[in-house]
């Protein structure tokens, strides 16, 4: 029944009849089940999850569509998202991935995306980072946005999850002092991918850079760059080329840890283990910078 519904959705939304000839599971995702659907003439990539997580797919479809419309860097074109029975789903263009993109092209296209700005920080919808909710209320003040909706949210979860008091207290102190990291730097509200670890970018079959699985919002472009250095690294050439298109402020070398702390706190909340200690060490190092 579910797959019949998907066929019908594809037929309606693409305005062309679609029958699944072959369905294959796709590995590599952390959060959802993923499939390749092959019809007679075209293919789709479909993610499914529990019905309660429909908001996550709606937000991903909105982000993919927003990035697609900038015409700066390739993303899979979303077709539709929805629910059926106990399931939620997201249907998008199938892309045949093949290796790594050219570092310079990727850097210039990502910089072009980051040049797409708004006058406020946030996003039209809340989304998720890994499996954790990510709040995106619009805000005019970046530091306020980041300390409350990013660090503050994760620190609150640390407390709820019973992680060390010291981590929470030091994190709060960092929140209070964080405007000192922005004394000579005023970020723009750039359209970000939001979760740019190396598992979320690749090249398509023609070598074109592709970014996918976004957790988008409008924020400081340095947050995307920092995440690219945290889990996997696109290489020095990438950063040199990026800097040609969008000059990176010299304070980035310190702020990147401020931004990556968010992801490490998220990992501490999702997986526990050594991530809490890593977060504590990062906070200590950052506090030393703002003393």
Angstrom CA distances, 43 to 23, 37, 120, 138, 265, stand at 10, 5, 37, 36, 38
8 A C-beta contact, residue 198 and residue 45: no
Binding residue count for ligand ADP, defined by CB under 6 A: 17
Our finding on whether 155 is near ligand ADP (CB under 6 A) is no
Q: Which residue, 128 or 257, is less far from ligand ADP as judged by CB? A: 128
114-153 residues in contact with ligand ADP (CB under 6 A) are none
Our finding on whether 99 is near ligand ADP (CB under 6 A) is no
Q: Which residues lie across from 132 on neighbouring strands?
A: 129
Distance CA 108, CA 235 (A): 14
Between 26 and 65, how does the x/- string for binding to ligand ADP read (CB under 6 A)? x-xxxxx-x----------x--------------------
Which residue from 6, 46, 79, 92 is in contact with ligand ADP, where contact means CB under 6 A? Answer: 92
**Least gap, CB of 128 to ligand ADP (angstroms):** 9
Our finding on whether 95 is near ligand ADP (CB under 6 A) is yes
In the set 58, 195, 220, 224, the catalytic residue is 195
**Least gap, CB of 116 to ligand ADP (angstroms):** 21
Q: Which residue, 34 or 116, is less far from ligand ADP as judged by CB? A: 34
- Element containing residue 212 per DSSP (H, E): none
**Least gap, CB of 13 to ligand ADP (angstroms):** 16
Q: Which residue, 3 or 97, is less far from ligand ADP as judged by CB? A: 97
**Least gap, CB of 173 to ligand ADP (angstroms):** 34
173-202 residues in contact with ligand ADP (CB under 6 A) are 199
Distance CA 229, CA 34 (A): 27
72-91 residues in contact with ligand ADP (CB under 6 A) are 76
Among all residues, whose Cβ is closest to ligand ADP? 29
| Only segment of 25-33, 102-110, 113-121, 149-157 that touches ligand ADP (CB under 6 A) | 25-33
Which residue from 18, 146, 153, 212 is in contact with ligand ADP, where contact means CB under 6 A? Answer: 212
249-288 residues in contact with ligand ADP (CB under 6 A) are none
Distance CA 3, CA 258 (A): 44
Angstrom CA distances, 197 to 41, 223, 272, stand at 33, 11, 19
213-232 residues in contact with ligand ADP (CB under 6 A) are 213
Catalytic residue list contains 85: no
Residue 25: Cβ-neighbour burial (10 angstroms; 0-12, 13-18, 19+): exposed
Angstrom CA distances, 137 to 70, 113, 117, 172, stand at 22, 21, 16, 21
Write the DSSP symbol of residue 92.
E
Long-range contacts of 131-136 (CB under 8 A, 24+ apart): 131/30, 131/31, 131/270, 132/157, 132/266, 132/269, 132/270, 134/194, 134/215, 134/217, 136/217
Long-range contacts of 149-153 (CB under 8 A, 24+ apart): 149/122, 150/262, 151/175, 151/178, 151/261, 151/262, 151/265
**Contact positions vs ligand ADP (CB under 6 A):** 26, 28-32, 34, 45, 76, 92-95, 97, 199, 212-213
Which residues participate in catalysis according to the annotation? 195
């Amino acid at each position: 029944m579910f797959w019949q519904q998907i066929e019908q959705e594809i037929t309606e939304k693409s305005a062309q009849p679609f029958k699944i000839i072959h369905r294959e599971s796709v590995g590599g995702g952390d959060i959802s089940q993923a499939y390749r659907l092959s019809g007679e003439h075209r293919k789709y990539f479909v993610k499914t999850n529990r019905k309660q997580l429909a908001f996550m797919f709606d937000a991903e479809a909105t982000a993919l569509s927003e990035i697609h419309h900038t015409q700066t860097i390739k993303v899979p074109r979303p077709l539709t998202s929805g629910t059926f029975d106990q399931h939620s789903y997201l249907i998008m263009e199938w892309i045949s991935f093949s290796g790594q993109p050219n570092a310079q092209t990727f850097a210039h296209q990502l910089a072009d995306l980051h040049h797409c700005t708004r006058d406020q920080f946030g996003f039209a919808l809340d989304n998720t980072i890994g499996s954790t909710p990510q709040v995106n209320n619009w805000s005019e003040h970046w530091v306020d946005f980041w300390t409350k909706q990013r660090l503050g949210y994760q620190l609150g979860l640390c407390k709820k999850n019973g992680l060390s008091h010291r981590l929470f207290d030091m994190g709060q102190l960092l929140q209070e002092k964080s405007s000192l990291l922005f004394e000579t730097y005023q970020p723009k509200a750039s359209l970000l991918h939001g979760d740019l670890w190396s598992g979320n970018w690749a090249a398509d079959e023609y070598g074109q850079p592709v970014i996918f699985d976004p957790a988008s919002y409008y924020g400081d472009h340095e947050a995307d760059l920092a995440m690219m250095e945290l889990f996997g690294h696109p290489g020095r050439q990438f950063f040199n080329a990026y800097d040609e298109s969008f000059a990176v402020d010299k304070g980035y070398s310190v702020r990147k840890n401020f931004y990556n702390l968010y992801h490490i706190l998220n990992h501490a909340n999702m997986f526990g283990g050594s991530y809490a200690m890593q977060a504590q060490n990062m906070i200590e190092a950052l506090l030393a910078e703002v003393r």
